[in-house]
Each structure stands twice: as C-alpha cells, then as structure tokens.
Chains A and B, each alone.
Chain A
Amino acid sequence: MSATAETLPIAPAEPWRRRLLRSLLYGRNSNRAAKARARIGLAIIAFAVVYGIIAVRLVMFAAVSDGRIAHRVVSGDAIATARPDILDRNGEVLATDVRVPSLYAEPRRLIDVDEAVELLTADLPDLDATELRERLSSRRGFVWLKRDITSEQQREIYHQGLPGIGFLNENKRDYPNGAEVSHLLGRVDIDNQGTAGVEKWLDNQGLAALHLAGLATDRLQTPVQLAVDLRVQHALRDELVKARDKFHAIAAAGLVLNVRTGEIVAMVSEPDYDPNIPHNPRDPGLINRLTTGVYEMGSTFKAFTVAMALDSGKVTLKSSFDAHNPLHYGKFDIHDFEPMQRSLTVPEIFTYSSNIGAARIAMAMGVDAHKAFLKKMGQLDRLRTELPESAEPIVPKRWGELNTITIAFGHGLSVAPLQAVMGVGALMNGGILIPPTFLKRSEAEAQALGHRVIKPETSAMMRYLMRLNVEKGTASKADVAGYYIGGKTGTADKVVFGRYSKTRVLTDFMAVLPADQPRYVLLIMLDEPKALPETHGFTTSGWNAVPTGGAVVARIAPLLGIEPRLDLPPADQQILASLKESR
C-alpha cells in the first residue's frame, strides 16, 4: 500500500482524539481520501447507467409511439377476416368484401337487461326476445347479438344510448351476380370462411392460416382472377333454365371448356342457389352435377371407343363392322335404337350411334387395350381441380368382356361429366390431354401441363366424325349456320332400384366448335327430360339436349369471339382433305 506512505505527512496534524475515532470507525490503516475518490467514481458510474437507461427508454418511446397511434384507429373495427376479391376473366366482380356493422353486447356492463331487450327488439323485430334476454343475462364479457345490420338500424340503436351495446364493422362477402356463378364460387359461412367451391380453395391456399393468425383484417390487395366469362356463364345458364322448364327435367347442367388451354369458361349446374342467402349446404338437390356427380354418359362414350380404334391404326374410317343382328353375350342382348340390319362403316356407326357397332369395335380392340385407353384418357381416376368437390368414377371391379362391350357405348362406367369433357377435349384439340382449370391460364402453360394421348391425325378424323354427325346424324338439330359445330349425342338409361329404367334417361350432348379449328367444347346435360308433343314422344338427346346446345352456341359463339363463316364445304372436304394434304 503506497497510499500509507503518502498520508504519513498529514497524520501528525490530526488531533489524537479524532485519530482514535477514525481508527475505531474505519480501522487503523485506512485512507479516507482514496476511498472517497473511489466512491465518487462508483456514484458517477451508477448515475451514468441510470441516465443511460432513461435516454434509451426515451428514444424507444419516441420511436414506438408512432406505430401505436396508427394501430389504435385500425383496431376499432375489422375483426372478421378479409378475403380477396374474385374477378371473372374480363375483370367483372364475382365476389367482394363489403363492410357491414354488427351489433354486440358486453353483458357485464349492461345496467337494465329488460329495458335493453325491449328497445332492441323494437328496432330489430326479427330478433328473438327470449334468446336475447338469455344472452344479455349471461355473465360473459362479449356476445354477438346480430351480425350484418343495416346502417339505419345502427343509427336508431346508437341513439338509444344503451350502455354495454356496441357496433363492430365486419367484412361480409357479397356476390353481386347472385345465383349465376354459384356452384363455381361456392360460398362462405358467417365468419367469412370458405365452405365450398373456389372460396374453399382460397382458404386452402393459405388464407385460413392468415385468418387464424389474425393478419387478414385489412382489405387484401391482389384479387383472384378466374377463367370463367360472366357473359358466357349467363347465356349458358339462361338457356339451361329454359330447357329445364321446357322439358320438365330434374336438373340441367352445362360446361364450356377451352380445348387449347383447359380453362373452364362457363359451368352451370341447375338447380343452383344464391350464395348471398345462407341455407342448408347439405341439400342433395343442389350438388354440382358436373364435378360431384358421376353419371353413365351414354353414347358420347362412343367417341372414346372409335378414337381408340382409329388411333391404334388397326381400324380406318373405311372399316366396317357387322350390325345385322342384336349382339348376344351370355344372357344379354345388345340392341340398336334404330336397327340398320346390315354392315356399318365406322362413320355410320358413329352417326347412327350404333351400340352393336361400338361394342364390336371395342371387342376387336380387346379388353386390356380398352381399359388402358380409358385410363390414358383420364376416365378411370378421380379428377382433381381447384374445386374441393370431386367424385371418384365408378369403375367395375372385375372388368370382363361384357364390361368392355357396355362401356363401349357408355354404360357400366360412371364418370364425372367434367372428366368426360376433358377427355373429349383431348380428342378434339389434336390429341393433348390438358387438366382443366378454373383459373386463367395461357396456352403455353397448358401445353407444358398437357401430354399427348392420341395422334393429331386421329384427332382430325374424330373432328370429321363429330361434324358429320351434325351434318347428317343424330345431332343435326344443333347445326347453327356459320359456326361449323360438331357434336355427339348421348342418351343413358338411368339406373332405378338397381335396374336400367326404360323411361328415365339422362341425355347429354358434347359439341365442338368450330369443328375444323377447335377452340371450345360444350357439354349440355339434362337429367330426366320428359317427352313433349313437339319431340314426338322421344326423350333421346337429339330432341332435347341437342336443340339446347344449338341455342347455347348461337348465343355464346359471338361472345367467345368465334367468327361466323358461312358457305363452308361439308366435313369430308373441310377436315379430311387437309388431313390428306398433310400426309
């Protein structure tokens, strides 16, 4: 301790009594001056730390308080979850969020329950008084009284000045077009969560997670654009409603598919519903028949049978098959609707819609080849699109020769109609199977997704057959001048109590337009159409689904930008001639 040496000269100056006191208090050899300096240093450090903390906190408060001011305003409303707008392909609004006030109560802060019940039921007559009293009497902190009230009701209740009653602005989903696009869009529940259709798909895309985290409160900026065209959708729905009323059908459904991109431009399943009005979502009459229902498509499946035969190269358009007599297989007889009792060529089998001929073609190809071809065309697996609703096709468990015979003309295999449209689209568009989509998609993206299933020449021959069927076959009533429609009809007997009914049928019509340069495939489907005097007692597709298809084409073709071309030569010159040139 060098300090003791320094303090030596001072020590004698101190009186002895003080020195004694000091030695008693601090010890004999302590140096107060040095200790005092050390203590001052300690105090400086302590104060510096305190002031430093104060300064840092000041800066933090200054920086954070800005955010808190902005936050306070937002938290006043917007507790329901926001959803992005849904637009059609031209930017028309299909679904959007609208702010509506909702009424809530804080029962703990309520003074007089009876008065509150009386005043509230006066303004909101549809509110149940006993239930309201029950809710207000509970000791909970927060109860909803009524969601989605009008602004006049809000003003009235506000002016009553009831304590513990308040309003919150909530997002409510609004569908300006009502029932027009219902099955496609689906709907949302009272908490703005999607429960069906594209709305549910949006939730599965990560929106539900955002909602759970409470982040999706403000308006979401990027809208979702669908492939559907509102004008086409309306025209299709209008004609289907007319057809359903005219033929007293249980249901009518229609689909327009762009064969080059796989976009679904319109999809209608009648009966439908207004998504703005809440109702029972489990009503079986309201299913989307195009994706959720599976049906035996009838003679439209002959298109697959014929395409398989032509694509194999073993059968040409000039091949002929025996259709003299009904086809016997075991205890079953296969008849034709209009027996020709002679040999039929492939185009004749297609245009007369001969069951015997189609069955013989399929038998010639073999069971395994038939099954493999339908598998390749996507008819045996569940088709998944953006819509959450999908149905598994009903495929026979043991696929024998009898199954091949019946499936050749469209019985014994039930598929979702959308699936069949996808397959026919591949037969028409040059042989590329493209998975259908409800979202906008470019041709290049579709080409990357699709894969070749048949040769382009086979596709051209199939288009020829489709056009021929309209020129002089079962689909002649769909021939709208100028649009060069091709089409195949189908009439399937419905299974009632495990047996094929003779009177209840499902008719469908699969059309391609234009047949020489395919752009769209149209499906019209009627469930149990009734015979009318003007259909001469027939319920086959050619008398109901086909004229409906013609009416739809006449309305939607201008909307789809298809230029009418009059004076086109018949199919064998227009389509087959170009095929021969290219070879």
Chain B
Amino acid sequence: MIFRVINFVVIGALVLAAAYVYRIKFDSTVQAEHLAKLRGEVRRERDRIAALRAEWGELDNPARIEILAKRFLQLKPIAPTQFDSLDRLPERPPDDARAANDDPIGGMIGNLDPPETGTIPAAQAAPAAPAAAPPEAPSGAPNPPSGAPNPPSGAPNLPSGAPNQ
C-alpha cells in the first residue's frame, strides 16, 4: 500500500519535473532567439553608425569646409596680431558700474570722478566749447586756474578711453 502511494507521488513528481523542464527549455529558446535578434540589430545599428560616421567624415572634411567657408562666410584666417594673453585683459569694471543695467557705460562715466568734472565749469565760469577753451587760456591772465585748461582736454579722453583699454 505504502509502495503504491510512493509510486504515484513519484509519477506525479516526474510529470511536474518534465513540464517544468519543458517550460525552462522553451523560455530559453525564446530568449536565445531574442538575443540573436538583438545581436543582429546591434550589428546593423553599428553598421549604420559606421556609415553615418563615414558620411560625417566626408562632410566634415577640412577641404570641403574651407570651400564652403570661403563661399558663404566673411571669416578670414587668424593673424598672429589677433591673439592676446589673458593677463593683458583689463581689470573687471567696478560692481556699481555693472549694476546699472540700462546703461552700463553711462554708469561708468557717471562714476568716474564727479567732483573733477564739476569744478571745471565753475573755475572757468565760461560757457565756451572745449575746443575753444585752450586758445583762451593763454590769452587770459596767468592766474591760479591756469592748470584748469588741461583737465578739460584730458577729461573727455578719460571716459571714452577707459573702457577701451
């Protein structure tokens, strides 16, 4: 009796094991085919990448770029004089000049030295144009403000020259 029960259990286990093995085998076949398909795709993809790289190499060829650049661009080869080193860059503008967003250069001019520009009209006390000022100074009496004619000629240079350097 006991032997018969064991027999049935073993037969059942055998069937289950066979079914399980079949499923694993079937899955693995599906996976293997999937893998082969993916490998093929990867290879095709790589071939396509190679073809595109070859085409890019052809399009990116310096000889071709040079012809196109000469025809369509205004650019010219760089001359040695057009290089400069970083340590020759001018100082960074002060913060308050950069803060004036609407007119940064105007802000810098405004920040330069207000008392100096303010004193000249007061010392000269004349509405003369700057160009007319130097000839007037020698003809005028050599009094203490004789130093004053120099600042007007120098002063217009300062704001325009400073941002350029």
Sample of 19 A–B contacts (CB below 8 Å):
A66-B32, A70-B35, A70-B36, A72-B36, A92-B57, A97-B50, A176-B54, A176-B60, A180-B62, A219-B46, A230-B62, A234-B63, A480-B80, A554-B80, A555-B77, A557-B80, A564-B80, A564-B81, A564-B83
Tell me if B53 counts as interface (CB < 8 A to partner A).
yes
Using known A-B contacts A177-B61, A480-B80, determine if residue A98 contacts B46 with beta carbons closer than 8 Å: no
Alpha-carbon distance A69/B32, docked complex (angstroms): 7
Q: Which residues of B contact A554 (CB under 8 A)?
A: 77, 80
Beyond the given A93-B53, A98-B54, A177-B63, please list 12 additional residue pairs across the A-B interface where CB-CB is below 8 A.
Answer: A70-B36, A85-B50, A93-B56, A96-B50, A176-B60, A177-B61, A230-B62, A482-B80, A482-B83, A483-B80, A558-B78, A566-B80
Alpha-carbon distance A555/B79, docked complex (angstroms): 9
Tell me if B116 counts as interface (CB < 8 A to partner A).
no
Interface residues of B (CB under 8 A from A): 25, 28-29, 32-33, 35-37, 39-40, 43, 46-47, 50-51, 53-58, 60-63, 66, 77-78, 80-81, 83, 85
Q: Which residues of B contact A218 (CB under 8 A)?
A: 43
Task: Please state if B32 and A70 are interface contacts (CB–CB under 8 Å).
Answer: yes
Of all chain A residues, the one with the shortest Cβ separation from B40 is A73
Q: Which residues of B contact A366 (CB under 8 A)?
A: none
Q: Which residues of B contact A482 (CB under 8 A)?
A: 80-81, 83
Using known A-B contacts A70-B32, A70-B35, A231-B62, determine if residue A99 contacts B51 with beta carbons closer than 8 Å: yes
Q: How far is the CB of B20 from chain A (nearest CB, A)?
A: 14
Which residues of A from 516 to 570 have beta carbons under 8 Å from B?
554-555, 557-558, 563-564, 566
Task: Please state if B50 and A219 are interface contacts (CB–CB under 8 Å).
Answer: yes
One of B36, B50, B78 near A69 (C-beta < 8 A): B36
Task: Please state if B61 and A178 are interface contacts (CB–CB under 8 Å).
Answer: yes
Tell me if A174 counts as interface (CB < 8 A to partner B).
yes
Q: Which residues of B contact A230 (CB under 8 A)?
A: 62
Which residues of A from 93 to 141 have beta carbons under 8 Å from B?
93-94, 96-99
Task: Please state if A566 and B36 are interface contacts (CB–CB under 8 Å).
Answer: no
Q: Which residues of B contact A97 (CB under 8 A)?
A: 50
Tell me if A205 counts as interface (CB < 8 A to partner B).
no
Q: How far is the CB of A327 from chain B (nearest CB, A)?
A: 42
Tell me if A481 counts as interface (CB < 8 A to partner B).
yes
Q: How far is the CB of B86 from chain A (nearest CB, A)?
A: 11
Alpha-carbon distance A65/B25, docked complex (angstroms): 11
Alpha-carbon distance A180/B58, docked complex (angstroms): 11
Alpha-carbon distance A72/B39, docked complex (angstroms): 12
Q: Which residues of A contact B29 (CB under 8 A)?
A: 65-66, 69
Q: Which residues of A contact B36 (CB under 8 A)?
A: 69-70, 72-73
Q: Which residues of A contact B40 (CB under 8 A)?
A: 73-74
Of all chain B residues, the one with the shortest Cβ separation from A219 is B46
Tell me if A213 counts as interface (CB < 8 A to partner B).
no
Tell me if A238 counts as interface (CB < 8 A to partner B).
yes
Alpha-carbon distance A93/B55, docked complex (angstroms): 10
Count how many chain A residues have C-beta atoms less than 8 Å from C-beta atoms of the other chain. Answer: 39
Of all chain B residues, the one with the shortest Cβ separation from A221 is B46
Tell me if A62 counts as interface (CB < 8 A to partner B).
yes
Counting residue pairs across A and B whose Cβ atoms lie within 8 Å, the total is: 95
Task: Please state if B47 and A219 are interface contacts (CB–CB under 8 Å).
Answer: yes
Task: Please state if B57 and A93 are interface contacts (CB–CB under 8 Å).
Answer: yes
Of all chain B residues, the one with the shortest Cβ separation from A66 is B32
Q: Which residues of A contact B81 (CB under 8 A)?
A: 481-482, 564, 566
Task: Please state if B85 and A563 are interface contacts (CB–CB under 8 Å).
Answer: yes
Alpha-carbon distance A557/B33, docked complex (angstroms): 56
Of all chain B residues, the one with the shortest Cβ separation from A169 is B47
Alpha-carbon distance A382/B121, docked complex (angstroms): 85
Alpha-carbon distance A208/B72, docked complex (angstroms): 46
Q: How far is the CB of A218 from chain B (nearest CB, A)?
A: 7
Q: Which residues of B contact A66 (CB under 8 A)?
A: 28-29, 32, 35
Q: How far is the CB of B151 from chain A (nearest CB, A)?
A: 34
Task: Please state if A73 and B39 are interface contacts (CB–CB under 8 Å).
Answer: yes
Task: Please state if A99 and B47 are interface contacts (CB–CB under 8 Å).
Answer: yes
Task: Please state if A238 and B50 are interface contacts (CB–CB under 8 Å).
Answer: no
Task: Please state if A234 and B80 are interface contacts (CB–CB under 8 Å).
Answer: no
Which residues of A from 291 to 343 have beta carbons under 8 Å from B?
none
One of A69, A219, A483 near B33 (C-beta < 8 A): A69
Of all chain A residues, the one with the shortest Cβ separation from B36 is A70
Q: Which residues of B contact A219 (CB under 8 A)?
A: 43, 46-47, 50
Task: Please state if A96 and B57 are interface contacts (CB–CB under 8 Å).
Answer: yes
Choose among B46, B47, B62 the residue with the greatest number of A CB atoms under 10 Å from its CB: B62
Of all chain B residues, the one with the shortest Cβ separation from A558 is B78
Of all chain B residues, the one with the shortest Cβ separation from A100 is B51
Alpha-carbon distance A35/B164, docked complex (angstroms): 120
Alpha-carbon distance A11/B58, docked complex (angstroms): 103
Of all chain B residues, the one with the shortest Cβ separation from A76 is B40
One of A65, A85, A238, A481 near B80 (C-beta < 8 A): A481
Task: Please state if A238 and B77 are interface contacts (CB–CB under 8 Å).
Answer: no
Alpha-carbon distance A96/B47, docked complex (angstroms): 10
Task: Please state if A62 and B32 are interface contacts (CB–CB under 8 Å).
Answer: no
Alpha-carbon distance A253/B152, docked complex (angstroms): 63
Alpha-carbon distance A85/B36, docked complex (angstroms): 25
Using known A-B contacts A66-B28, A176-B57, A219-B50, determine if residue A238 contacts B39 with beta carbons closer than 8 Å: no
Alpha-carbon distance A80/B13, docked complex (angstroms): 53
Alpha-carbon distance A74/B44, docked complex (angstroms): 11
Q: How far is the CB of B59 from chain A (nearest CB, A)?
A: 8
Q: How far is the CB of B82 from chain A (nearest CB, A)?
A: 9
Alpha-carbon distance A92/B46, docked complex (angstroms): 17
Choose among B54, B55, B56, B85 the residue with the greatest number of A CB atoms under 10 Å from its CB: B54
Alpha-carbon distance A575/B124, docked complex (angstroms): 58
Top 8 A-B pairs, shortest CB-CB distance: A176-B57, A482-B80, A564-B80, A234-B62, A93-B57, A66-B32, A176-B58, A70-B36
Q: Which residues of A contact B78 (CB under 8 A)?
A: 558
Alpha-carbon distance A238/B54, docked complex (angstroms): 22
Of all chain B residues, the one with the shortest Cβ separation from A480 is B80
Alpha-carbon distance A98/B63, docked complex (angstroms): 22
Chain A 454-489 interface 0/1 with B at a Cβ cutoff of 8 Å (1 = within)? 000000000000000000000000001111000000
Q: How far is the CB of A547 from chain B (nearest CB, A)?
A: 16
One of B35, B58, B62, B83 near A563 (C-beta < 8 A): B83
